[in-house]
Chain A
Amino acid sequence: MPFAIEVEDLEKTFKGDIRALSGVTFSVEEGTVFGLLGPNGAGKTTVVRILTTILQPDVGLARVLGHDVVREPDVVRTLFGLAGQYAAVDENLTGRENLVMVSRLNNMSKSASRQRAGELLGEFDLVDASDRVLKTYSGGMRRRLDVAAALVTRPRVLFLDEPTTGLDPKSRNDLWDVIEQLVATGTTVLLTTQYLDEADRLAQRIAVVDHGQVISQGTPTELKANFGDSVLELGFANEGDASKAITSLTALGGHPAHLLGTSVEMTLEGGAANVISALRTLDDVELAPTTFAVREPSLDDVFLSLTGHQAVDAAPAGDLDAATASKRQRRGGRAQ
C-alpha cells in the first residue's frame, strides 16, 4: 500500500451554497507528515472531517489505508487518531479518566485501557496532573492530552487539525517535539496549519489550500523556491518613492517586489548578499528607506507569491461564511 491517505476530487458544499471544497486531490505516503497549509476558511478542516468520517463528501473519494471513508466508516474509524484545535476532551474528567474513556470507546478492555492511559500520561509528561480534573489544565496541557487521546490505539494514521493554534511559543515547541517523535515511530500524519514555520518544520510535503482548492503542492524546499528564503520590508516617506523603489528592485530580476501603501516587500533567495545588493541598488538611485526589516516568510508571503493577494484579505465574504458554516457544523449544523 503506497499511500496511507488518498483524496481525489473532493467536493463539499454546505447549506446555503457555501462551497467549502471544490475538487481537492492529494495523497500522503505512509510514514510521512503531510501539511495542509492555508488561511481560515480555506477548507482544511472540512478535508479532515471527511477523512475522519464525521462528514460525507458530495463528490469525490477519500481513503484511509485503502479503506473508503464513505463505504467502510466503521473500519476507517479503527484506523486513525484525531486531535485538533478544539481539544475535544472532557473538562469534568481527570486526564487519566479521559484517556481510559477514549480507550474503552475504542473497545479496549478495562485493564488494557488503564495500562495504556498510564503509558500515555508518562509519554506526554502529564503524570503529575494525571488525577486532576481537566479544568485545571493549561491550554498546552489540554492539547497534549488531546494528542495522547488520539494515540490510545497506536493508530498508523494521525490527523492533527491545527494542533498549535492559540498556543504560546513554549507549548508550541513542546507539541512539535511530540509530533516529531511520533513520526520517528512511523506514524503517518496529516497536519493542517495556518503557520508556514510549522508546516516547514514538521511536514515532508505541503499542499497550500485556498478557497477549497489546492493551489500549490510540493516539498517545503520546492515551495520555498517559489517564495524565497527571506522577505525584505522597506518603508518609504511617500508612495512616489515606494513606486520608484519597486522599479529599481524589479530591474534586479528575481522575485517581483510588491507595493503595500508606502512600503515595499520583496522576497529574496539566499542571505545577506542579496539584501546588500538590493540596498545598493536603492542607494544608486538615491532612495533612502525610512524603515528596514528582514524577516522569515509567512503564510501571507506564500499567498502573495502564489496568488498575488494576501491570505487574510484573500477570503471574500462567502469564504468567511464557509468558516462559520463549518464551525456551526461542528456545533451541530446539518451534515448534508
Chain B
Amino acid sequence: MKKGMNKELAKALAAVFLGLTAGAILMLVIGKNPITGYVSLFRGGLMSAERIGNTLATATPLILTGLSVAFAFRTGIFNIGAAGQMLIGGLCATAIGLSFSWPRPLMLISMPLCAILGGAVWGVIPGLLKARFNVNEVVSTIMMNWIAYWSVYYIVPSNFKGEYLETESARLPEVASLKTPWLTNLFQGSYINLGLFLAILAVALISFLLNRTTLGYELKAVGFNRHASEYAGISVNRNIILSMMIAGALSGIAGATFYTGYASNIQIGVLPTQGYDGIAVSLLGANSPWGVFAAALFFGLLHSGKGFMNAMTKIPPDISDSIIAIIIYFTATSLLIEKVWTWLRKKKGGKA
C-alpha cells in the first residue's frame, strides 16, 4: 500500500516538474527569463501573509471540487458535474444569507448545510438515473451543469437582484459571510475565509470514510469491481447513488466557500471554472484525499501568483494556465512517463 502511494507521489512530482520545465521553455520562446518568471510567480503567491491568504482562498474551492471528483471516481463514476453542483450549493447558501437575518452562528451553520443539501440533490439525480436507468453519468452531469446555470440565471435576477447590476445577486451582509475578521486580519486583508477549515475537515472526513469505514470499503469495492461486489451481496446501485450524493455535497460546499466566502455575491451566466479544474486536481492528486489537498494548493498557488508575475515581468498570465494544462497532460500520460523511466533505467543498467 505504502509503496503504491510513493509511486503515485513520484509520478505527480514528475508531472509537475515536466510541466514547469515546459513552462520555462514557453517563457524562453517569448524571450523572457524563466528564472525571474518563476521567482515572481511564486513570490506572487507566497511573499506576504496577504498573498499566502489569497493562495489558500483560491485553493479552497479547488480542494472541495477536486475531492468531489476524486471521491466519485473511487466508486467508478466520472463526476463532470462539479461546476453545476457548486453553483447550486452557492445559490442555496446565498439564498439563506440574503433571505434571513439570523444571528451569525446560525448563519455559519445553516449556509454550508444548505449548500451541502443543494449540491447533494444535484449529484444524486445523475446517480439515480445511472442506477435506475443506466444513464451515462458523464452526459447527465453535464446536463445538470446547464440546468444549474440557467436556474441561477433565472432565480438570481428575479429574487436576489443586486443593487446596481442585473447580472449578479445583492451583496451578502457581513453577518452571512464566511470571511471572519480575525482570519482576515491575520492574513492582512486577504480573501481567506472559514471555508478553508471546511475544506480541510472535508478532506480528513473523506480520507477516514474511504480508508476506515465499511461504507468506504463498499464504495471502493464497487468502483474496482462491480461484478465481484454484486457476487458478494453489496448493492451496487445503492453505492452509486450514495457516492454521487456525497460527491455533489462536496461540490456544494465548494460553492458556499466560493460565493459566500471568497466572493460576496453570485454572478449569473458563469459556470465556475473550479468545477472542471476539480477534474485536474483529482487527476494530479491521484484520487486520494490528501493528494487532492496538495494538488489544489499547488494549483491555487499558480492561479494566485500569475497576476504578480505578469505585473513584474510582462510574462502573460496565460503561461500559468498553460503550465497547469501541461501538468495535466503529463499526469494523464503517466503511463508513458513510467515506460520512459523504466526504459532509461534499463539502458543505464545495461551499460553498467
A and B interact: no
